[in-house]
Amino acid sequence: MPLTGMLLLIALATAAAGTVTVALMLRNPPLSPPRLCAILVLILGSLTAAAYCYGWFSATLGGPFPESCEDRNASGADLAGIEQEHWPLRSACVYSDGATVEHVPMWINVLVCLPAGLAILLACVGAALHRRARPPSAEIT
């Protein structure tokens, strides 16, 4: 648990430092697109890690659960409990007949998966821009 909290703080500090770096890069041209992409990847990756750690930390401490559990399931069994483990990997409604219904709300995809996907996309764009901007190596004849 302390490791998750520490990772959350490090991710937030890294995202803040990356934001300051981008602001400084935009104030002092010339702007290097591959470097800007690298800093944006760092920011998005850090925000993704922070959102994931916050959610995991919250679920471990009994935090908010999506309000999607019904009092009774389709077979008529009563709600026996709610399990949250390793957010967002498992959030489930457990019913008295042993059935479980797992839920991953859309906001998890927005806060975790979208920035992670954008970070991967920007990493690829930055690598392509870096490769394109690199001077050709001298040919030996």
Q: What is the distance between the alpha carbons of residues 118 and 113, in angstroms, rounded to a whole number?
A: 9
Query: For the chain, what is the largest distance between any 2 Cα atoms, rounded to a whole number of angstroms?
Result: 81
The 3-class SS string of 59-80 reads HHCCCCCCCCCCCECCCCCEEE
Pair of tokens at residue 41:
């990847």
Query: Which pTM value belongs to this model?
Result: 0.69
**What pLDDT score was predicted for residue 86?**
63
Residues with Cβ within 8 Å of 44's Cβ and at least 6 positions away in sequence, in order, are: 115, 116, 118, 119, 122
The token pair at 32 is 């290097």
If the chain, 141 residues long, is cut into consecutive pieces of 10 residues, what is the mean pLDDT of each piece?
A: 84 92 86 87 91 77 63 86 68 85 73 87 89 64 52
pLDDT of residue 121: 92
What is the chain's length?
141
| Angle, CA of 101, 69 and 97, to the nearest 5° | 55
- What does the pLDDT read at residue 111? 79
H/E stretch holding 60 reads helix 33-60
Coil vs helix vs strand at 14: helix
What are the domain boundaries of the chain? Answer: 1-64+108-141, 67-104
